[in-house]
Structure 1
């Protein structure tokens, strides 16, 4: 084997790779925010008295959880323009990540909500709290405390899933690495380096969630 390592293209492209890491973080955090909104909203509708809303949420969860993320992002980016809705790569990636993460968040959050005893809810109503206050204060926060480790793991996975957004040229770490590799043909060096970058990104995200857990849920995520 006569292959000689040459990290010069990686070193020269390091500023672009760091900007790509920032793009990955922004995609991940934006997708997570949307996923949380979808997750909480989906739980409310999933347990509502309006049957069509329950069926719609069930169908949404099954559709998203049983189709590949790549197909989902391609559908938004390539198919929706045929219906008159055209989005740039970055908004497309955020929406796709949010929808994908939201489908999983619905089931995770719903599991936590169902763990709250009915007696606690009835006690809140007896104290004169509105249903919205009961959901926010008595149901949601304890439920989030119970499911936070699972939700954290799902969001770290969502962070790594941002790499799929390179398929539509969204600006993130893998798309930057692909450009550097196509210019230099140093595949081992480039992809070996971003492997380490993704390990670092995962560690940072875990520390980020640990801080949130310590601040709001009184126990650290390990």
Structure 2
């Protein structure tokens, strides 16, 4: 049961991180370069999500969809809620990376004749993500730990399994010690994987690691 719960936690984290990172990056681009209405909507979304508890967001989506007759599996609702949360935090982190790009770099891109898409990719997006990658990595680890909240809507992830086992065995201390160690091991594994991805994608990170 613990192994199955750990697997659910890993799948939930991976799905939410991959989708949330892609959508959050697009939202950061829209927040910087879109029209006034789009920027306002993106800003409102980020502020609402970042200033309300994740647990409340999970409940609102889970019970809100049920009220309109849309009954989805708890796992799918959990992925949706975690993704919505990840998008907001990723957007804000990537936006900070965009703000670190100096105006002279945009002018250099124009002087070289780069298209808007090429300038965003080579001058803004990749350098911005490289600069904020440590913050993104920490946020993704926190997201993995936050998957424990989805146990409140009956997603059978690691914390939900631990709750069930301690209720059956009447040994909460031993159960939660093992659960905490598993979360610790998973956090360290995620940090290692994210570090390896950073070394593979960003040359300067790879050179620093080699040095």
Pick the TM interval, shorter chain.
over 0.9
In 2, distance between residues paired with 1:92 and 1:126? Answer: 47
Q: Which has the higher contact order (CA 8 A, sep 6+)?
A: 1
TM-superposed deviation, 1:42: 1.2
TM-superposed deviation, 1:83: 2.3
TM-superposed deviation, 1:126: 2.9
The count of corresponding residues between Structure 1 and Structure 2 is 207
After the TM superposition, list the runs of 4 or more consecutive aligned residues in structure 1 that deviate by more than 6 angstroms: none
Contact 1:38 1:103 in 2 (8 A): no
Given candidates 30, 48, 52, the residue that maps to 1:67 is: 52
Contact 1:180 1:190 in 2 (8 A): yes
For structure 1, which runs of at least 5 residues remain unmatched after alignment? 1-15
Cα 1:51–1:141 shift into 2, 3 Å: same
* Larger radius of gyration between Structure 1 and Structure 2: 1
- Is 1:166 paired with 2:151? yes
Two-structure CA RMSD over aligned residues (Å): 1.7
Aligned to 1:27: 12
For structure 2, which runs of at least 5 residues remain unmatched after alignment? none
TM-score using structure 1 length: 0.88
Q: Provide, for residues 25-69 of structure 1, a one-character-per-residue CA deviation record: whole Å limited to 9, x for no partner.
A: 111111111211221121122123411111111111111111110
Given candidates 23, 47, 50, the residue that maps to 1:38 is: 23
TM-superposed deviation, 1:99: 1.1
In 2, distance between residues paired with 1:214 and 1:71? Answer: 37
Q: Which moved more, 1:201-210 or 1:172-181?
A: 172-181
- Is 1:109 paired with 2:100? no
- Is 1:219 paired with 2:201? no
Given candidates 51, 64, 70, the residue that maps to 1:79 is: 64
TM-score using structure 2 length: 0.92
More helix as a share of residues: 2
Aligned to 1:12: none
